[in-house]
Structure 1
Amino acid sequence: MIYYIEIVFIVCLCCACTLFKKGIAWTKVFAILIFGATWLVLALRGSSVGADTQSYINYFWMIDEMSIPDLIGKINSPNRELMDVGFAIYVKVLSFLTNSPQIMLAISGGFYLYVVYIFAKYNKLVNPIYVLWYICLAPYLTAFNLVRQCVALGFCLLSWMKYNENKRKAYFLWIIAVLFHISAVVWAITFVAKKIKPSRKLFVAVFGLLVVLFFWGGKIIYYVLSFFPVYQYRYGQNGVYSDMTTQANGVVFLWIIIVLCAALVAFKTNWGQCLDSLKFEKIVYSLIAIAFFMLGNRIGGVQRIAVYFQPFWVPLLCDFGKMYEKKVELLYTIAVTVCAVAFFFLQIQSDQYSPYVFFWNNI
């Protein structure tokens, strides 16, 4: 656990330094320090840290031993013997360059964390205190488990940031994400959301739809899974992973805060004069994440959909704080930071993350 505490300490130290050292150069220094700390803890973890780490290590060895014709044959097999095509090809290419699965974990984690940094910068949230929120509230710890989905999430976030600049490139990045993890198809929601004019009535409608999803989403999801035999086998009503539901614990309190922030931002914003075209999207995606996390308490695997939209929690929380005067915003920032760190420490109590073991101790 000490290594997770060190990450929080380094970020807090960088936050304190920003009071004395300002400017673009120092911002880059703080970013490098924080990125280095978070990446090293993620990249050097042993096979016992993270629920699926050992599975990905075994997958690397399996792909490494396959010939190209065998790999193509299994990719095209009707029962999908391999994971998604993009990830299988990615691992095969890496196996030509290295015989260490740890390199795969390090590169995958590095790519994901770098995209999260770009995402924070895109939302003008490069202050270390906001980066701490990303570490504690956004799926940093999820990257210890869902390696290929976090790579897919990285491509999805890049797609979202590139959409207004180059739609074709955005669609291309999304397709890559789907090739890495089929669940990334849900990112198509973001393309629809960008074409909708925001309003308070629309917020109420979206909130209503998400309530319906929570109560009756199970039937819809099981129906959709019936068209995908492999995933029906895994996550269907009697699937292999149907009992892999999430446990809310103290997280419900966090969900309530985010829902309240979303509602207040939605109703206090004059959407007719709002110049931030992405503000409404942050609200919608944050609520989508909560809806699927709540649904994940009853249906195994559904929480994977929520992971795609969880990074939008931080920009939403920041938008809420900026609605008030400086003194109130400062108190709010302190309160959120304390809650975020508490949430982080609650998470690392899980045997998925603790005790932390370096990979060389598993050899």
Structure 2
Amino acid sequence: MVVYIFLILLVILFSFMQTKQNKWYLFLMLALIFVVMAFRSFSVGSDTQAYRLLFFQLSYLKLSSYMQSLTTFFNSRFELGFILLNKLIYHFTNNPRWLLIIVALIVVVAVWLFINYFSQDVSLSLVLFLTLGIFADSLNSMRQILALAFVLISYTYIDRNKYVSLLLIILAALFHKTALFALAIIPLSYVKFNKKTIGILSVITLFIFVSFNTILTIFFKSFTSYSGYVDALSDGAARNATLLNGLIDLIIVIFCYMCGRINQVQGMKLTQYGNETFYLLLIFISFCIYIVSFRYSQLSRLSNYFSCVYLFMIPNSISLIKTPIRRLLLKYTVVIFAISYFITIQLFRPEWSRIVPYSMLTN
């Protein structure tokens, strides 16, 4: 865990030399993060070793049999985009190290585009990226982190060109089918976050929670490739993670909303792009997903596509504080909380991601 703490401290220390126009700070920090991700041992991350073995297996897969019908396409265990990526890499080299390198590169480029576009405090955004779960997922859930990377890029187009945003989300689904749920982001961009919206979402969440067994049975019959995840229904450890992450999402919504209210900023102008209450809505939706996830813990994976906006919502909310000393105190209170959360999880619940102990490449 020393490597992760050192990385976080570097992000904080180098931030004192950062200027608003200094793009080199973000580039340098993400380059360091890239090294940690790309050149880790295959023992780092609960799924990394499995993806190493899968790299060789997918190289022999015949695409003709995979594409023979839509049923095969949707019920296949692995998505077409991920299969093609593996086969493309294998065409040039049979070293699975390059799979980690390419995935790490895609992720850091996506994070760079996302943070650079939205955040008014890139150093705090990087700290949140490293501590609140996305970074841990990038060392573990390879297919979904690739999908999330393309969803992050799609956010930068949501107010500029919704067709590009749509295409990027569809591309994301070629790496993990759950990204199809991110298609909801586009129509949601027209919805305001208010009491009426909260009420409607609460009713929908309650309905899904109560009738979940019926919905899940229909889903497993339609998509048989996911039937192996049924064990997650009674996963007590996953429920603890769901509870904790759901509470964090709720705290973030309240925190961002109160920052805007206290400073009486009309329309919550947290960024120069679009309706910022839309991004609060997305985090609230993530909270609702965590509630439903008490019935089936694997559903919590869907929350990442919506909650990821906290990477800029928290820094931009803090930027609304008019008094510099209060703004600084609030920023470093968040930093201390985020680091404490990360250390606590890695010390007492390392099995959630298995990214500790960290070690560099062994081959």
Check whether TM > 0.5. yes
Matched residues in 1 for 2:154 and 2:27: separation? 24
Q: Which amino acid aligns with 2:337?
A: C
Matched residues in 1 for 2:193 and 2:53: separation? 49
How many pairs align?
A: 352
Change (3 A) 1:122 1:23: closer
Matched residues in 2 for 1:74 and 1:338: separation? 52
Change (3 A) 1:269 1:250: same
Please give the per-residue CA displacement for 1:133-161, whole angstroms capped at 9, x wherever unaligned. Answer: 22212511111121111111111122222
What's the counterpart of residue 355 of structure 2? 353
- CA-CA distance at 1:60 after TM superposition: 0.6
Change (3 A) 1:160 1:79: closer
Residue 119 (structure 2) aligned to one of 103, 117, 124? 124
Residue 91 (structure 2) aligned to one of 87, 96, 114? 96
Change (3 A) 1:123 1:75: same
Matched residues in 1 for 2:150 and 2:327: separation? 32
Matched residues in 2 for 1:255 and 1:89: separation? 35
Q: Which amino acid aligns with 2:310?
A: W
Change (3 A) 1:78 1:340: closer
Q: Which amino acid aligns with 2:224?
A: V
What's the counterpart of residue 148 of structure 1? 143
What's the counterpart of residue 41 of structure 2? 46
What's the counterpart of residue 222 of structure 1? 216
TM-score by length of 1: 0.85
Residue 26 (structure 2) aligned to one of 31, 36, 41? 31
Residue 290 (structure 1) aligned to one of 287, 290, 293? 287
The 5 A counterparts of 1:306-345 are 306-326=303-323, 327-345=325-343
What's the counterpart of residue 258 of structure 2? 264
Name the stretch that deviates more: 221-230 or 81-90.
221-230
* Pairing 1:62–2:57 present: yes
Name the stretch that deviates more: 295-304 or 62-71.
62-71
Any stretches of 5+ residues in structure 1 without a counterpart?
A: none
Instruction: Please provide the CA RMSD for this pair.
Output: 3.0
Q: Which amino acid aligns with 1:212?
A: L
Q: Is the 8 A contact 1:63 1:71 kept in 2?
A: no
Matched residues in 1 for 2:160 and 2:113: separation? 15
The 5 A counterparts of 1:171-186 are 171-186=166-181
What's the counterpart of residue 247 of structure 1? 240
Change (3 A) 1:118 1:278: farther
Change (3 A) 1:220 1:259: farther
Q: Is the 8 A contact 1:44 1:358 kept in 2?
A: yes
Any stretches of 5+ residues in structure 2 without a counterpart?
A: none
- CA-CA distance at 1:211 after TM superposition: 5.2
Please give the per-residue CA displacement for 1:236-280, whole angstroms capped at 9, x wherever unaligned. Answer: xxx244445342376566344214225536866544999752311
Matched residues in 2 for 1:241 and 1:348: separation? 21
Matched residues in 1 for 2:294 and 2:148: separation? 22
- CA-CA distance at 1:206 after TM superposition: 5.2
Q: Which amino acid aligns with 2:252?
A: I
